A and B are shown apart, each in its own frame.
Chain A
Amino acid sequence: MHTFFNRAMASILAACAALGSPAAAQPVPVPTASSSRDSEAEYLVPPQGGAFEIALHVGEVCILSFPDKVSNKALASSPDFQIKAWEEDGIAVRALGATAKTTTLAVSTVSGSLKVNLTLVVVPADKPSLKLVRFKAGTEDDFFDFQLQTALAPFKADLDRQGQELARQRKELDDHIRDRAEGQTAEGALKRSETCTFSSHARNADNVIVHVVRGLLLGDEGYVIFELENRSGNPYRVAGVHVHAGERDVTALARVTAPTDARDPNLLGVVPPGATRRGVAVVRSVDQVLGKNLTLDIAGPGGSQPIRLNQGIVFR
């Protein structure tokens, strides 16, 4: 991955350097878009004008469309091409024979905002040709943007592909992890699945109350389910939830069903004022603490606003 990014960044920097170099100060007209039909094209023309090659089939008419009224001075047919005005802002071109020689045609609009020199080339029937060409007057910025987008397009496509691959792999990993977790849960449920009734309540001086009224024995794990009731006027930030058996911390992990503060990833959750949220603390290898009185400690960042429940929580 690093190699790819290094290569991509080097190429992007090189492209940008090239765009900013004196050689790039004279932009080359390039097509800006192609319709779903290959026989149409649209060209962005810089202010100083541009040169384009128009491929034609013998006997077929190609319409050249301009954004402004076209000067009639350009409308001079050659022996090999029939060239006529098409409305005020267009020109119709037709190759008269298979032996028609390549011809150039200089066209400008009356306002002078767009000037192009077109090379009319007759191609065999098995080669693509154009039936409609639209010319648009662009600024230097438009042209620079286009060149930048063109230069970056391959890398962007490669990045997109890599991103899709990464997302696919991540989804597979997530699926695998979920399957494994569900499998362990199912195996645990087969081994043991019992609910426990607790009766433990405590509050701190800030009127935040914790109720523990039930638990769950599932396989080798015990779950202490609690409710956090915040009766204070301020949010209660939960940073630590720990279950102790005596002096030993037996907590595997804890969760709180409260939206976390995105600014502090160390928080388990934030209980808004006046709200009640549920949480759970998981006790791993719960068989070792069966029958023992457990202590549940909940606190905010840095151990602030602690709440301790030290009776009524016993897995049996």
Chain B
Amino acid sequence: MCVALLGVALVSVGSHHAWADRYEATLVVRPTGTLGRVAEDVGGSAGSSVVASVYGGGLDVGLSYGLRNWLDVGLELGGAGFAQATYDPATVMISSRPHTGQIARTTRDAQLRAGATLRLGVAWVPTFYVGAGFGGRQKTAATMARDDQGTAVGLTPDDMSAGMSFDIVVATRIGFERRLDARWTVGLSAGASHSIGLGAPSLDTLSAGVSIACSWYPNL
């Protein structure tokens, strides 16, 4: 999908002589479907992570301003929730004793990013975004549903109770928008982000979504 969008973007760039949106402010809402790769330190040794892929959904809200006809800068606040991730086999400590079995945990993620968007069109607008910021992850308490013998356990491993962790986030996205009139724009986009956990394993996401944006001249 990303390749297709990039191709359409390049074709569109070649067909336009003008660019878009200097002085214009834009508020965008972007529901997304997300694939997360959530890592947990359940590999049995320090720093040994196991990654689980889970689907999720989220919503991005962004506010941007056109510095040039081809360049917007702005802030984005995004949130995503993921289905329960399962790590099997996972080796954890429960009551300071090692256990191996299946661990399940649910993660929610929020990100605040500052970024810039190249806007390469007028009525049809290919976009390319890069941004960086901070993120927070809310994790439920992990549960060992059963051990490697198949015995139901139902206990929370040591250091895996519910809590928050924080990330440094980098993100990129390409999209393709259609300007409907002087105010409204709709679009499609696909993006990826990488969250570097501060004392926690990383989180990578791939997302795709539709967007609807409202633009106006704030007359600053």
The chain A residues found within 8 Å of chain B, CB to CB, are: 199-205, 207, 211, 229-232, 273-274, 311-312
Contacts and interface: CB of A to CB of B under 8 A. Distances in A.
Closest 8 CB pairs of A and B: A201-B217, A274-B17, A205-B181, A312-B219, A231-B18, A231-B122, A274-B18, A201-B23
A305 B203 CA distance: 49
Contacts of A199: 219-220
B219 A200 contact: yes
Contacts of B19: 231
B123 interface: yes
A203 B24 CA distance: 10
Given A201-B23, A231-B18, A274-B18, A207 B219 contact: no
Contact of A311 (B123, B179, B182, B219): B219
26 contacts: A200-B217, A201-B23, A201-B217, A201-B219, A202-B182, A202-B217, A203-B182, A203-B217, A204-B182, A205-B181, A205-B182, A207-B20, A207-B122, A207-B123, A207-B179, A229-B18, A230-B18, A231-B18, A231-B19, A231-B20, A231-B122, A273-B17, A273-B18, A274-B17, A311-B219, A312-B219
Residue among B19, B181, B219, B220 having the largest count of chain A Cβ atoms under 10 Å: B219
Contacts of A312: 219
A311 B217 CA distance: 10
Interface string B205-220: 0000000000001011
Interface residues on B, range: 10 to 19
Given A202-B182, A205-B182, A231-B122, 20 more contacts: A199-B219, A200-B217, A201-B23, A201-B24, A201-B217, A201-B219, A203-B182, A203-B217, A205-B181, A207-B20, A207-B122, A207-B123, A229-B18, A231-B18, A231-B19, A231-B20, A232-B123, A273-B18, A274-B18, A311-B219
Interface of B: 17-20, 23-24, 122-123, 179, 181-182, 217, 219-220
Residue among A229, A231, A273, A312 having the largest count of chain B Cβ atoms under 10 Å: A231
B176 to A, nearest CB: 17
Nearest to B17: A274
A248 B132 CA distance: 50
A158 B59 CA distance: 85
A202 B179 CA distance: 15
A46 B122 CA distance: 73
Contacts of A311: 219
Given A205-B181, A273-B17, A232 B122 contact: yes
A232 B20 CA distance: 10
B51 to A, nearest CB: 46
Contacts of B220: 199
A205 B215 CA distance: 12
Contacts of B182: 202-205
A293 to B, nearest CB: 11
Contacts of A202: 182, 217
Contacts of B24: 201
Nearest to B19: A231
A226 to B, nearest CB: 13
A200 B219 CA distance: 5
Contacts of A229: 18
A201 B21 CA distance: 11
A217 B181 CA distance: 35
Contacts of B179: 207
A232 B125 CA distance: 13
A1 to B, nearest CB: 51
